[in-house]
Amino acid sequence: MLPAIFGLEGLQLSTRERDFFRACQPMGFILFGRNIESKPQVAALTASLRDTLGRDNVAILIDQEGGRVARLQAPHWPLFPPAAQFAAAWERDAEAAISATQLNFEALGLELAALGISVDCAPVLDIPQIGAHDVIGDRAFGHDPNVIARLGRAALDGLARAGVVGVIKHIPGHGRAVADSHHHLPRVTATEAQLAVDLAPFTALADAPMAMTAHILYEAWDQAHCATLSSTVIRSIIRERIGFNGLLMSDDLDMKALKGDVPALAAAAIQAGCDVVLNCWGNMVDMQGIAERLPEATLTMRHRLHSAMASVRGLAEDATGGQRQRALMADRDALLQSLMGGAG
């Protein structure tokens, strides 16, 4: 098994992709808008991915947070609110906000599970700071570490109830970045004491099944390498201080925060301590290079993947799935309307 998660070119697997994936056996796949047209098409695509690898429990990922980060869009799929809306609800009634968050992510998870998608790259546990870039913004569950941790837990629980694995991100914290790591490498100059605040939600959810690293350089911890490529940050901060022992994936290796050859970056991320690298854009040259550069997944990597995928129980498809989702969304909306006086 190759410790990589790959993107795809289009709406269905090409013969070249199928042959390549069958030969290298990546840990999983990630879907984007270019892979999505309709419900039957996405379900057929995920079925073909499982068939290609010969494994039923394949990690098939998507970024479906709600709000502005949503690969599944209307009119084929319902819209889900951003995390900030649940943080606002918390100000009125904490327990009701927790219930609304769990209902929301269970309904969202049911949508994914019906399509054969098994992993959602959510929730965001970053704490936005004043003066930081708005790349996180309303994707965060507010600004209070305790609130973020409590609502993040509810999101993970909701996804798990739908049979979907959640991914906490962007460990060890993206909230202080003054640049968007999609385009530039953010350098965070905060002190150790300041950074301790950023770690709190991740520490509270250290038992999460999966986590995604931040392409951010934290000068207090490593002045030469961003977290994804830093053995110091991964070993000393993520694994030891935070206590995370689940499957650790890199953020997308194609993001402009990273400089250099993508296969070489993949090898560096694995050497630094990531369990699996994320390469999103379906570029066959890069994927082949990654397959050539990376070693086979270790027993520890395989165990973490197996444990993560086994942490949720996939639901059997039945005629009541859509009814259940509609009921969950109706209950969520009723809670949000009672707290905020507006539609969910």
Whether 251 sits among the annotated catalytic residues: the reply is yes
Q: What is the pLDDT of residues 263-272, one digit of tens each?
A: 999 999 999 9
- Selecting among 63, 251, 275, 286, the annotated active-site residue is 251
The model's pLDDT over 295-324, given as tens digits with 9 standing for 90+, comes to 999 999 999 999 999 998 654 444 456 788
For the chain, give the mean pLDDT.
Answer: 94
- Using alpha carbons, list the distances in angstroms from residue 305 to 5, 167, 236, 258: 12, 12, 21, 25
pLDDT band at 344 (very low <50, low <70, confident <90, very high): very low
Q: Is the pLDDT of residue 170 over 50?
A: yes
22-59: pLDDT as tens digits: 999 999 999 999 999 999 999 999 999 999 999 988 99
Task: Return the CATH number at 280.
Answer: 3.20.20.300
CB 332 within 8 A of CB 104: yes
Active-site option among 56, 76, 182, 306: 182
Report residue 164 as tokens.
Answer: 């979907």
User: Into how many domains does the chain fold?
Assistant: 1
From residue 92, alpha-carbon distances to 126, 142, 173, 335 in Å are: 22, 13, 27, 11
Q: Give the per-residue pLDDT at 310.
A: 94
Do strands 119-120 and 59-62 pair parallel, antiparallel, or not at all (unpaired)?
Answer: parallel
| Domain range enclosing 216 | 2-340
For residue range 47-57, list pLDDT tens digits in order.
999 999 999 88
The closest of 105, 96, 170 to 132, measured between CA atoms, is 170
pLDDT tens readout for residues 130-147: 888 999 999 999 999 999
Measure the CA–CA gap between 274 and 267, rounded to whole angstroms: 10
Q: Respond yes or no: is residue 144 known to be catalytic.
A: no
More confident residue, 186 or 339: 186
